[in-house]
Structure 1
Amino acid sequence: MRRVGIVGAGITGLIAAAELKKAGIEVFLLDKSKSVGGRMATRRVEDGRADHGAQFFTVRSNEFQQDVNKWIGDKEVKKWFGDHHPRYQSINGMNALAKYLAKNLCVYVNRKVQAIDFQNGRYQLYTEENEIFEATDIIFTPPSPQVMEILNNSKLQADKSILKTLKFSPCLVAIVKLYEEVLYGDHGQLTNPSSAIQRIVNDQQKGISKTPSLVYI
């Protein structure tokens, strides 16, 4: 019987797990963080919230649009701005959508995968917490440097050439609480205000925060 292990419980891992489960395949997810979501990250700011990872997502396929339409019907997602390829946001912060997607899935958090092995037709995933999870197939969804670290610690023969070509640049995020309500940019966001800042988002204008705050990315 197939049993798929997915490393990383961000939106990619969660949707992959849901599709596999829909197909009748046993699946579980492992994530090193204390919660699901990955870059769909939301932080509390007094009476409000601040998305300090992904700010929105877009739809580029009919299949994904069907999923998004369901999320809209469940009042988990709404259109934020844009007509061509609208930007969609989670109503209660992006991490709330991840938690919604994780319902009814087998997810293990606070599990950092260190290495993998293959014996007797099954993969063994070894975690820092000295646990071993077995699977017939593995899907990796973390950024390539994290996948490279796992593979370098493993005895498996794996082609890492494509992973080595992927480059990641560091990104700093600042969450700034304001003393009073302000309007900022179009729809509460300003894109590329300087060479060092990619985006500024007003979480109160975005509709996820009662506390005035800005996120600088």
Structure 2
Amino acid sequence: MRPRSRTRTRGAALLLAAGAVALTGCGTRAAGAGSPAEPSAPAATPSVDYAAQAATAVARHDKLFPAIAARCGGAGAGAGSGEGERAIGASPGGELPADPEARKYAENHAFKQQAPLTPGARCRGAAHAARIKAAMTGGSGAKGAPHSADELRAVLTGLGYGFEGGGVYGSGAVNVSFVLSVPESGPCVTGRLGPPVTVEAHGMYVEGGCLEPRGGH
């Protein structure tokens, strides 16, 4: 009887040991196996270097118009940033006039305010305006002054200007005008066939684009 008792005791011990191993295995997970992934930190949004973008645009402009680049190379880079300058036609510091009627007029026409120009953009604008006016009046080697909207469009296109966000307006030779943005770097150039022929450069309107916005009250 004693040998059987020993055999039973030994078998019971083996069963208990196997059960302990099984329980230990159920309650343990290997690191990295089936465990939920740790949430990753959100990727940082890269900052936009607007100054670098403006400088690159000016460089592209200078390749298209080397004569104007040579004239305005020392006037400062950038297009559209204020650099402490006020917008053409805007009151200093954006202050409203003291006179009630003048104040009301200024408030009603605030939508026509233009963005300021850097010295470089101002120089390029003036140079492009002079170049366009010379072509519109038949001077500076121009083949002939345009006398209609179609002729003006052909002259401006031949000079290397496009009309994205602008265009040539009028029919025939009546009330012919144009609005364009200097390629790559700005600013805006606006003019009329006349008489007299008028061409001027200016910043974009604060509401966006080179076309004068319509609105107010």
* TM-score tier after normalising by the smaller chain length: under 0.3
Q: State TM-score, norm by structure 2.
A: 0.22
From the two aligned structures, give the one with the greater strand fraction.
1
Q: Between Structure 1 and Structure 2, whose CA radius of gyration is higher? A: 2
Q: State TM-score, norm by structure 1.
A: 0.22
From the two aligned structures, give the one with the greater helix fraction.
2
Identify the structure with bigger relative contact order (alpha carbons < 8 Å, sequence gap 6+): 1
